[in-house]
Structures are given as structure tokens and as C-alpha cells.
Structure 1
């Protein structure tokens, strides 16, 4: 009986140590990687890092996490994660999950806000146009799958959208991209409407980076003439006068 009691107290003691294990200690034990985690406080279960440098282009400030204990009963590691780079800068939050037995990663209730300038720093190539505005993403659920997704349900908004180029400028007002998963492939429905331009596009991204773009773009009499002329190069016009878009290729 005494042995069982001793084992019980040792077990409770070990659990207590694990629960209260400082996150800074765990970070110090982690193998060296390109990701740098600075100024860590709290525990591995609930804590904060003042700065997380993912790569030279991406640094997250004031990163907080709170692991959900009840999810562990279902062999799922889940945590509420958030970051805030400050006023007029990138911020976001989500519930991030990883199936311990399935090996699948997912996220839900994702909210991400960033400016157009921040977005440009993440692009692999320089755009031939200048963009301004603010981007917001609201993803209800995204789950890793083959080739890209098992689930995807969300929308991306581009507010105060504006394009500037040598050919002219376009006031897009606002644009929305509805995201979904179609048999593992990413599907995006792009809609945009302003006094100068109306856009409806259906974009498919399938295995191997193959993409297909279909839809139409309608310019109004307020659109810059040089931009309106360039639309005729993108495709034929339909009965309503909109330019029909039909492209496919590989990223």
C-alpha cells in the first residue's frame, strides 16, 4: 500500500514539474534551427515570446500560446496562438492543432490582418504593379491533405484596393477571395466591383502547381483607356462586353 502511495506522489510530482516547466528552459534545449525565439516567459503550456524570427522576411512580435489540455485526451495537440506586431502592422490569431497519431496539421478560427506592403515582402518575385490597401483573412477551417488540403473554408478581403502601373491606375475599391477545398485541390472564387472594374474569376490550383483561371473582367467608362485597351489582349469579349479570361499553366 505504501509503495502505491509513493508511486502516486512521485507521479503527481512529475506532472507538476512538467506543467510548470518554464518555456525558456524548453527553448534552450531545442536544437538550433533557422527560427529564433527571443525573450520567452511563462510555461510550455501557457506562455509568451516577445519575438519569433521565422526568416529574414517574417518576424512575429508578442507571440502568445495557450495549450488546450482536454484535446490531449483525443491525441491532439491544440493551442490558441496569437501575435501582434503593433498598430498598423500585421496581427493574427488561430486555434492550431496537430494530430499526434494521424500526423495531420490543421487550424481553425484563423484571423490575419496585414498591409499590402507587408504582403509584398513575402512574395517570391517583384510585382510589375504597385498595390496599396489592407488584407484580412478569416479562415473557419484549414486542414492539411493531399495534394494540398483535406478541408478549406475561408475568405480573404482586400480593402481600399488600388493598383498603380506605368499603363495607368485602377481603383478596385474592395475584392474578396472565397477559398475552398475540391478533392484535395485549392479552389478560389475572386469577386471585385468598383466604379472602374468588375471582376469574377474562378481559380483552381491542383497537384504539381498546375493552375486554371476562368472568368470575366468588365471595365467601365471610368477605367483608364490604356488599361481598357490592355483587357482586349487578355481574351475575347462576350455578349455583355466583358473580357473572357481562360488561362492555364504551372507555377
Structure 2
């Protein structure tokens, strides 16, 4: 092998090692981050790294770890095995996330957080306050128009309590199934998945709008304030249910 070839091979090997070992803190230092994003405690490389604290506006997560697949880059994709927090932190999550020219996809995604983390500083109507925890489980997600191409999973609203100017509503635990219907994210529930006598669907549409097509009946497990308020929803149907319908912007958005 000639000297020139040896130099070229040596440079290629050096560049490969440079990329593999490129410090994550250097990459973050030169990254054009928005002014409301704060990152501290960065370690590792761009391929396998850690962030102690990540703060976006008023929301903060801790113990962020990622593993970036170099082989996916060869196919024009960014594939990240991401983990956030632990059982000891308020917010935690994990999953395999892929970014490609066609959009975002995810497999085995899990996210747990208190309601306060999701609501942030949003002002809800009727001076509403919500307490509880949210658990999101996504088996498979493929981005599409307007929102999804494929979606399967579940959303759990745990120990949910709603308080507003009309009363106090301890809603308990609610399970909703996640699916994709004509490109729209749909959440569905029935009486076997909640103690509130609710069954129906909610669809997320473009422009932060939702469509609720559901109904509710009186149950012994409902909060008293809720039972007294059901007549405000409209006329009770022959099946004993009151209509629970809404179409418009997401409250607080």
C-alpha cells in the first residue's frame, strides 16, 4: 500500500472515530436552540449521551438518555432509542422514535406525567383545575395527514379530580383506547373502562379542534355534583343516556 493510500485510510479511520466519540456537550453548545429551551448536565457522545435536566418553558424533565443508530442514517432516517426519567422522577418515558422524510414514527412508546406537567400555564375555562396523572402507551404510531396513518395504544387518566366554579368532580380512573380513523387521532371509552357511565369517542382534528360524540348516564359511582349537572347536557334519551357532544377548539388552547 502506498503512503498516500495509508494516509487516506488513516484519515477515514480518524473521521469515523471522531464522529463516534464526538462529545454531546459540544454539539449542544453549538446547536441553534430556542431561547426558551435550557439544557444542563450533558455527557456522553452524540450517539450515546445523557442530559441531567431539560427545561422547555415551564416544563422540566430529568435523566434524559438516548442511543442514536448510525445504521439508520445510511437509509436517510434518524432512529433514537430514548429514555426519560425513572420511577423516582415525576415525568418518565421511553420508546423507539424514528424521523424520516415521510414523518415521525414510534414503537413501544410509554409516557407518564402528572396533569400539571401537561397543562402547564394554560388557563382552562370556568376556573377549572385538574389533578391526577396521565399514562400513555403507544404500540405503534405512523405520522400521516392530518395526524396519523397508523396508531394503536391506550391512554390512562389516573386518579383524576376536576374542580371548577360549578363543583368538585373526583372522576377516578379512565381508560381510553387509541386508534387512527381517516387520519384523525381517536380516543374511545365505555362503561367498562370508567366509573362515570360514559361511552363514546373523541377525535382530534386539525387546528387544535376536537369532536366529541359520546353519551353519559347516571351511576352510583359518579360524584354528586356531576349527577346534579347531567340535566344541563340536554334531554335524556330513551336509553337513559344524556348527550355529551362538542365540536370546536380544545379548551385552553
TM-score (norm 1): 0.86
Runs of 4+ in 1 over 6 A off after TM superposition: none
Q: How does 1:67-146 map to 2 (within 5 A)?
A: 67-84=68-85, 87=88, 89-99=90-100, 102=101, 104-121=103-120, 124-126=122-124, 128-146=127-145
2:234 corresponds to which residue?
235
User: How has the CA–CA distance of structure 1 residues 23 and 16 changed in structure 2, closer, same or farther, with 3 Å as cutoff?
Assistant: same
Measured in 2, the distance between the counterparts of 1:146 and 1:222 equals 39
Q: Return the match for 1:47 from 37, 46, 49.
A: 49
Question: Does the 8 A contact of 1:132 with 1:163 survive in 2?
Answer: yes
CA drift of 1:51 comes to: 1.1
Measured in 1, the distance between the counterparts of 2:160 and 2:32 equals 42
User: How has the CA–CA distance of structure 1 residues 88 and 165 changed in structure 2, closer, same or farther, with 3 Å as cutoff?
Assistant: farther
The worse-fitting range, judged by mean Cα deviation, of 167-176 and 72-81 is 167-176
RMSD: 2.3
1:156 corresponds to which residue?
155
Measured in 2, the distance between the counterparts of 1:117 and 1:104 equals 29
Deviation track 1:193-222 (CA, whole Å, cap 9, x = no partner) reads 32xx21112112223444321121111245
Q: Secondary structure at the match of 1:28?
A: helix
2:17 corresponds to which residue?
16
The worse-fitting range, judged by mean Cα deviation, of 220-229 and 9-18 is 220-229
CA drift of 1:47 comes to: 0.9
CA drift of 1:103 comes to: 5.1
1:58 corresponds to which residue?
59
Q: Return the match for 1:36 from 31, 35, 38.
A: 38
Measured in 2, the distance between the counterparts of 1:49 and 1:38 equals 6
Measured in 1, the distance between the counterparts of 2:32 and 2:208 equals 32
Question: Does the 8 A contact of 1:167 with 1:227 survive in 2?
Answer: no
Question: Does the 8 A contact of 1:60 with 1:85 survive in 2?
Answer: no
The worse-fitting range, judged by mean Cα deviation, of 142-151 and 20-29 is 142-151
Deviation track 1:98-141 (CA, whole Å, cap 9, x = no partner) reads 11xx252222211111123333326x223544333321111122
Question: Does the 8 A contact of 2:162 with 2:169 survive in 1?
Answer: yes
User: How has the CA–CA distance of structure 1 residues 52 and 250 changed in structure 2, closer, same or farther, with 3 Å as cutoff?
Assistant: closer
CA drift of 1:228 comes to: 2.0
Question: Does the 8 A contact of 2:154 with 2:177 survive in 1?
Answer: yes
CA drift of 1:58 comes to: 1.2
Measured in 1, the distance between the counterparts of 2:47 and 2:176 equals 35
For structure 1, the 5+ residue unaligned runs are: none
